[in-house]
Amino acid sequence: MGGYYDSKIMSINRLRVNTDGEGITTLVAFWGCKLKCKYCINPQCTKEKTYRVSASPRELVEFLSIDDIYFVSTGGGVVFGGGEPLLQNKYILDVGKLIPKKWQIRIETSLNDSWENIKILTPNIDKWIVDIKDGNWDIYKKYTRVDGRKVYKNMLMLSEIVGKEKIDIRIPRIPEFNNEEDVARSVEKYKNLGNVEIFDYIM
């Protein structure tokens, strides 16, 4: 793929089954992230030498269309992840304008960005999959090395605008960083803003 967009696509993973919500999906993973998580599952997303390509929105949609029958028949679609896909929000917005309405559009994000960068995507995303890290800001900063206080404010506004049924909130147990009580407090903090799932980070 080529094109004039600096889309920084790190990888495209096809035929994912029930890993990013309902149905068969294709994950488009972008390079780049503001966080520096201790146990990052995609550490290549911040390495300058990581291979990445650019594609125009139309080129990307044409490539994704090879799995149209799977998306439509299973209720799946495309998932934007990374890294942090909000860093490519305008590109995602342009891609979304070309995606068939029968496809689901989902995004996996830390939600740690300006509200303005999030807001422009709210009309186009069918499901927000938000990795909270932890609701305690001291733990959050220790783990990510970035301040996380804007995350809760963004979640409040996102839930109000799109509705909590469109938000899946993922709260991890992080070895050496939080415990069951910390996780329980995070669940209590976010449980009314989306569908909460607890999971274990694998080091």
Does residue 2 lie in a domain region? no
Residue 203 has pLDDT above 70, yes or no: no
Does residue 98 lie in a domain region? yes
Does residue 101 lie in a domain region? yes
Whether the Cβ atoms of residue 131 and residue 121 lie closer than 8 Å to each other: no
Does residue 116 lie in a domain region? yes
| Residue-by-residue DSSP string for 80-121 | EESS-GGGGHHHHHHHHHHS-TTSEEEEEE---S-HHHHHTT
What's the chain's length in residues?
A: 203
Amino acid at 147: D
Locate 178 and state its tokens: 């939080």
Residue 2 has pLDDT above 50, yes or no: no
Does residue 4 lie in a domain region? no
Locate 101 and state its tokens: 């309405």
Whether the Cβ atoms of residue 106 and residue 78 lie closer than 8 Å to each other: yes
> With pLDDT > 90 as the criterion, what percentage of the chain qualifies?
93
pLDDT tens readout for residues 81-110: 999 999 999 999 999 999 999 999 999 999
pLDDT tens readout for residues 138-158: 999 999 999 999 999 999 999
How far apart are alpha carbons 14 and 26 in whole angstroms? 4
8 CB-near residues (< 8 Å, 6+ apart): 30, 31, 32, 52, 54, 87, 88
| Residue-by-residue DSSP string for 122-169 | TTT-SEEEEE---SSHHHHHHHHSS--HHHHHHHHHHHHHH-GGGEEE
Q: How far is CA 36 from CA 40, 44, 46, 110, 141, in A?
A: 8, 12, 9, 12, 10
How far apart are alpha carbons 147 and 149 in whole angstroms? 6
Domain carrying residue 137: 9-200
Does residue 82 lie in a domain region? yes
Closest CA to 77 of 29, 123, 111, 28: 28
**Number of domains the chain is built from:** 1
Does residue 3 lie in a domain region? no
Band of pLDDT at residue 4, cut at 50, 70 and 90: low
Whether the Cβ atoms of residue 186 and residue 160 lie closer than 8 Å to each other: no
Locate 121 and state its tokens: 């995507």
Q: What is the CATH number for 79? A: 3.20.20.70
